[in-house]
Amino acid sequence: MSETIERVKCLIIGSGPAGYTAAIYASRANMFPVLYQGEQPGGQLTTTNDVENFPGYPEGVTGPEMMIELQKQAERFGTDVRHGWITKVDFSGPVHKAWVNGEKEIHADTIIISTGASAKYLGLESEQKYLQMGGGVSACAVCDGFFYRNQEVVIVGAGDSACEEAHYLSKLCKKVTMLVRRDVFRASKIMAERVKNTENIEILFNTETEEVLGDGQVVTGVKVRNNVSGDIYDIPATGFFVAIGHKPNTDIFKDYLELDETGYIINAVPGTSKTNVEGVFVSGDAADHVYRQAITAAGTGCMAALDAERYLAAKESELAMAN
């Protein structure tokens, strides 16, 4: 082996609630996990302000604070948390290989993928400004909808997610305005019908976002454009929700793992964290386009560490029997 190759029992890729929970369990099981934090240490929660729905925090906690606490908890039991990004893997042989920042090579007995998914945004400067400030732009209605109770909000998107989130928001907010860029929904008929039949949801077809308006601190409205008539006008709102899809961060695994048509990793055995490659497990949003919550990510992180531990135990007893 060249000097640059490091051998580990358990490599965890990603540092959201899934990765850190996997790390807590794996380190307590003496698997000496090495965790690479990836491009966005702490994951999607670091772009969230208050997390009020994670059990155990009666007063709520900010996303970044929660991720620091999770990291400390993983480190307390010995997880080796490292800066760095896994840029390439090779799962073709009995040893699972991964490369950090395109250079350092790691050989791992088990790998837990917790690379998450990234919400897609429109990319407007004003949208990014209020997103970064925590001033009223969100890509998760279930996480942030509660902060807009009895207020007026705007949501962009026309798929199942947008319909589900608009419906969720309609139960909390005074009014939900839904911006659909074409003259039809992409969502399934039943979901589209549900929003159409909800009194406090107004659907604006052929309508695109020009700019998210604000007072420099928080969102105050949205400037929109009708792409048929060309009309431009403002809609008052305190919240701007973007529901135009997510992209799972799974590109580097596509040559080895079974992915669905949108890139989510498929669980080879439903109800477990197993992938189609023995010894490679998945947790969190990289395999979940349905729930996408911190608590579900943490739950599947726990499952992945337990599955990895059992896999190693079975391998070790196989080896002992052979000798």
Contact residues for ligand NDP, defined by CB under 6 A: 122, 156-162, 164, 181-182, 186, 244-246, 262, 289
Q: At closest approach, how far in Å is the CB of 291 from ligand NDP?
A: 10
- Nearest approach, Cβ of 111 to ligand NDP (angstroms)? 26
Q: What 8-state DSSP symbol labels residue 288? A: -
Smallest separation, CB 261 to ligand NDP (Å)? 8
User: Among residues 139, 107, 104, which one has the least CA distance to residue 121?
Assistant: 139
Judge whether 140 counts as a catalytic residue. Answer: yes
Pick the closer one to ligand NDP by CB: 213 or 306.
213
Q: Which is nearer to ligand NDP, 22 or 195 (CB)?
A: 195
Give the tokens for residue 243.
């529901």
CB 284: neighbour CB atoms within 10 A?
35
Between CA 92 and CA 16 the distance in angstroms is 27
The minimum distance between CB 271 and ligand NDP, in angstroms, equals 19
Q: Of 10, 109, 140, 307, which residue is the catalytic one?
A: 140
Q: Which is nearer to ligand NDP, 66 or 119 (CB)?
A: 119
Whole-number Cα distances in Å, 58 to 46, 50, 142, 292, 296: 19, 12, 17, 21, 18
Please give the DSSP secondary-structure letter assigned to residue 267.
P
Q: Which residue is nearest to ligand NDP (CB)?
A: 159
Is residue 143 part of the annotated active site? The answer reads yes
- Give the C-alpha distances (Å, rounded to integers) separating 241 from 156, 176, 186, 297: 6, 10, 17, 22
Question: How far apart (Å, rounded) are the C-alpha atoms in residues 303 and 135?
Answer: 35
Spot the catalytic one: 144, 160, 285, 307.
Answer: 144
Closest CA to 277 of 267, 285, 287: 267
d(CA 269, CA 220): 47
| Residue-by-residue DSSP string for 106-124 | EEEEEEEE---EEE-----
Q: What's the helix, strand, coil split of the chain in %, to 5? A: 30, 30, 40
> What is the closest distance, in whole angstroms, from the C-beta atom of residue 194 to ligand NDP in the complex?
11
**CB 21, min distance to ligand NDP, A:** 24
In the set 143, 163, 173, 302, the catalytic residue is: 143
Among 66, 89, 58, 56, residue whose Cα is nearest residue 15: 66
Which residues are known catalytic residues?
140, 143-144
